[in-house]
Amino acid sequence: MALIHCFCTLCIIFLLCFEQISAACKTVTVDKSGRGHFSTIQSAINSVPSNNRNWHCINVKPGTYREMVVIPYDKPFIILKGSGQKKTKVVWNEPYLQAPTFSSLADNIIVKSIAFVNSYNGPNSKNARVPAVAALINGDKSFFFRCGFSSVQDTLWDATGRHYFKRCHIEGAVDFIFGNGQSIYEDCSIRYLGEALPRGLAGFITAQGRNNPRVSSGFVFKSCHIYGKGSTFLGRPWRDFSRVLFYNCRFSNVVNPRGWNAWNSVGEEKQLTFVEYKNYGPGAYKSKRVKWLKNLNARTVAKLTSMSFIDNDGWLQSIPVKYF
C-alpha cells in the first residue's frame, strides 16, 4: 500500500506541474495567426540557445500547424505545451523513416496536449501503405502527457532513451509503436486502425527492438485500453530479444486470439519476453495464445512496472514544479 501511495502522490505532482507556469521558465507563444512571438513551432524551437541548461517553455495556441518539427540534439530542456489533442495539431505528409512529423532528439523534453499526425496514409489517401512516422523520440528523459500520435504504419518511433507516456492516444495498424526505447505507457488509449488494411490482414501494435539480453530497454503498457476495428497482434519482435509487457490493460476483442507473432525470430522464441499480466476484457483470454508467451513472476513484473524502470536516477521527480 505504501508503494501505491507513493506512486499516486508522484502522479498528483506531475498533474500539478502542468497547471503552473512560472516566470522562472522563459516562455514564448506560438500562434499561427501571427499574434504570438512566433507563427511556427520550429521557429520557436530555433530561438532556444544551443546547449542551454534552463527550461524553455513554448506555448502553442490552437490550430493545425502544417510543418515538420525537429528538436535537435543540442537543445534540451524544452517544454512544448499545446491546448489539447483536438485543438493543437502538428501535421506532415511524408513517408518513410527519414521524415517524421515530429522528431525529438534532445534529452529532457516535455510535451503536453499536442497531437502529431502523419497524414500520408490517412483516411481517403490513395498512397501506398509504407512507413509514415508521426513522431520519433530519440532523446533520454522525455515525458509526454495527453499527447496524440496518428498514422497507419510506424506511427510512434520510440527509438532510444527512457520515456514516459501518460494519458496519450496512439493509433495505427502496422508496428505502430516500435523502436528500442525503455518506456512506460500509462493510462493510454491504443487504437488499432484495421480498416486501413486489406480485409483479413491482421496488424501489429508493437515492434520492440531490444537486441541482446543485457540491454535494459522494453515497452511496458500499464492500465491502457486496446481497441479498434479488425484483428491485431499485440506485437512482433523487431529484434531477437524484444521485450513487451501489457499489465492491467483492457483488451477489446480486436486482439487476435494468438496474441503475438514471432516474425523473423521463428525458432528463437525463447529469447523473446512477451508478457501479459492481469489484463481483462474480451481480448484478454489466453487459452489460444502462442505457447511461447513468457510467464514472469510477480516480483519481476513489479520491477518492470515500477517507475524505477525508467527513473532510477530521479529525473522525473527533479522536474521543477515552478517551471510549469
**Which of 74, 175, 240, 313 is labelled catalytic?**
175
Give me the chain's average pLDDT, please: 91
Which is higher by pLDDT, 25 or 117? 117
Q: Quick one: pLDDT band at residue 11, thresholds 50, 70, 90?
A: low
Q: Which residues pair with 115 in a beta bridge?
A: 89, 148
**Which of 31, 74, 107, 154 is labelled catalytic?**
154
Mean pLDDT of 165-190: 98
Question: Pick from 166, 208, 225, 193: which is nearest to 294 by CA?
Answer: 208
Quote the CA–CA distance of 35 and 18 in Å, as a whole number: 23
**pLDDT given for residue 233 in this prediction:** 98
Mean pLDDT is lowest, of 19-28, 123-132, 138-147, 225-234, for: 19-28
Quote the CA–CA distance of 20 and 292 in Å, as a whole number: 47
Residues 249-261 have pLDDT tens digits of: 999 999 999 999 9
Q: What value does the CA radius of gyration of the chain take, rounded to a whole number of Å?
A: 19
Residues 12-61 have pLDDT tens digits of: 444 444 444 344 688 999 999 999 999 999 999 999 999 999 999 999 99
Is residue 74 among the annotated active site residues? no
The CATH number of 65-312 is which of 2.160.20.10, 1.10.10.350, 1.10.10.10, 3.40.50.1000?
Answer: 2.160.20.10
Q: Please, which residues have CB within 8 angstroms of residue 8's CB and are 6 or more apart in sequence?
A: none
Please tell me whether residue 118 adopts helix, strand or coil conformation.
strand
**pLDDT given for residue 99 in this prediction:** 94
**pLDDT given for residue 16 in this prediction:** 44
Q: Quick one: pLDDT band at residue 129, thresholds 50, 70, 90?
A: confident
pLDDT surpasses 70 at 312: yes
Percent of the chain with pLDDT over 70: 91
Q: What is the DSSP string of 46-99?
A: HTSPTT--S-EEEEE-SEEE-S-EEE-TT--SEEEE-S-TTTEEEEE---BTT-
**pLDDT given for residue 128 in this prediction:** 83
Q: Quick one: pLDDT band at residue 122, thresholds 50, 70, 90?
A: confident
The structural domains of the chain, with segments of one domain joined by +, span 65-312
Quote the CA–CA distance of 23 and 21 in Å, as a whole number: 7
Quote the CA–CA distance of 163 and 104 in Å, as a whole number: 11
Percent of the chain with pLDDT over 90: 84
Q: Please, which residues have CB within 8 angstroms of residue 120's CB and are 6 or more apart in sequence?
A: 93, 94, 95, 127, 130, 132, 151
Q: Which residues pair with 103 in a beta bridge?
A: 70, 136
Strands 182-186 and 135-137: what pairing? unpaired
pTM: 0.91
Mean pLDDT of 133-151: 97
Residue burial 200-211, b: 16+ Cβ < 10 Å; e: rest: eebbbbbbbbbe
Quote the CA–CA distance of 324 and 322 in Å, as a whole number: 5
C-alpha cell at 168: 496519450
Residues 199-255 have pLDDT tens digits of: 888 999 999 999 999 999 999 999 999 999 999 999 999 999 999 999 999 999 999
**pLDDT given for residue 24 in this prediction:** 64
Mean pLDDT of 6-12: 49
Which is higher by pLDDT, 19 or 87? 87
Q: Please, which residues have CB within 8 angstroms of residue 243's CB and are 6 or more apart in sequence?
A: 208, 210, 217, 218, 219, 272, 273, 274
pLDDT surpasses 60 at 3: no
Is residue 107 among the annotated active site residues? no
Please tell me whether residue 310 adopts helix, strand or coil conformation.
coil
Q: Please, which residues have CB within 8 angstroms of residue 38's CB and are 6 or more apart in sequence?
A: 28, 29, 30, 31, 44, 47
Beta strands in 156-239 (DSSP E): 156-158, 162-166, 169-172, 174-179, 182-186, 189-193, 203-208, 218-222, 225-229, 232-235
Quote the CA–CA distance of 289 and 291 in Å, as a whole number: 6
